[in-house]
Structure 1
Amino acid sequence: MTFYTYDYLKNSQSNWQYGRIIIISLLAVVFILFLIHYLRNRMDIKYKDLSIIVATLLLLVLAMQYNDFSAIQSSSKQTGQITSTVKQVAERLHVRPKTISVNSTNVNANLMVKTPDGFYRVDYNPAGTGFVLERVELDSQSNIKVEEAE
């Protein structure tokens, strides 16, 4: 069973989003530079071809970004929900959120929490607005792996 730390949950989604923004920005800057260089020297056709290639790459990356936008939004919302759940569990158990790990990156019915005191199952009410912590004992603790932030 894999558990994810609070820091891992907070940092895992944002890194890839920043990477995409950096790639799009770099492609836009390179496109503008090639276009400006072509407009200054209209006889040099290679900069026209390079600017067309970079513009095509830029449009491709923008299309992929637009396609993944709803998935990224949903993922960010779920990450926000699970991190707020971790904070609430930490408050109830009187521990810091950084000492808690959960077995899922999104809120679901079988959410398990690993704390320094032991393992807890999170039972949500039917509306999903509140939860109860139930202490559990796991049969095999040798199969537990904890994913931490880098």
Structure 2
Amino acid sequence: MWFRGNSKMTFYTYNYLHASQNTWQYARIIIICVVVLGFILFSIHYLRHRFDMKYKDLSIIFGTLLLLILGMQYNDFSNIQNSIKQSGQMTTVVREAAKQLDVSKESISVNATTPNDNVLIKSSKGFFRVDYNTDGSQFVLERVDLYDSSNVKVEGEK
């Protein structure tokens, strides 16, 4: 089967998918911790020096910023969970495809970070299309030949 893709196809390695699951969540946790620490420090300074209004203003600013960040975090919680779940599903697809093709999971890359109907797998044995069953719980690999495989870029490749 021939597959004609976009002019530039980007594939993602297993390590790239696995690392991208945690990177942004760690950054958010670090930002929240820094704001909480700033809020606590300025609140303590304000309680020690009640007549110095700059600490009161700074603690109010950090408190407002903390509430704003926590509100956004709560709002994005379901989106983050969904993204982690879908990225985890793709790493599972890569692991299962590696078993089916009898290659290492590090030698496989996929052209999507979330499961969809047009997932392609690039391995040392060629290109394969992932064909899911109706409920998406199982898949089969169908070998395909790319019309133009010269425009393939692999993210996370060493």
Instruction: Place the TM-score, normalised by the shorter chain, in its bin.
Output: over 0.9
Query: TM-score if structure 2 supplies the norm length?
Result: 0.91
Cα RMSD for the two superposed structures: 1.2
Query: TM-score if structure 1 supplies the norm length?
Result: 0.96
Moved over 4 A (4+): none
3-state SS of 2:150 partner: coil
Note if contact 1:2-1:144 (Cα within 8 Å) is conserved in structure 2.
Answer: yes
3-state SS of 2:127 partner: strand
Q: Which runs of 5+ in 1 are unaligned?
A: none
How far did 1:130 drift?
A: 1.3
Q: Which runs of 5+ in 2 are unaligned?
A: 1-8
- Deviation string 1:111-132 (CA, Å, 9 cap, x unpaired) is 1100011101111111222111
3-state SS of 2:89 partner: helix
1:132 aligns with 2:140: yes
- Deviation string 1:22-57 (CA, Å, 9 cap, x unpaired) is 000111011101101111111111100110011111
- Supply the distance in 2 between the matched residues of 1:139 and 1:148 (Cα, whole angstroms): 24
Residue identity (%): 60
2:122 aligns to what? 114
1:105 aligns with 2:113: yes
2:151 aligns to what? 143
- Deviation string 1:36-82 (CA, Å, 9 cap, x unpaired) is 11111111111001100111111111111111111100000001111
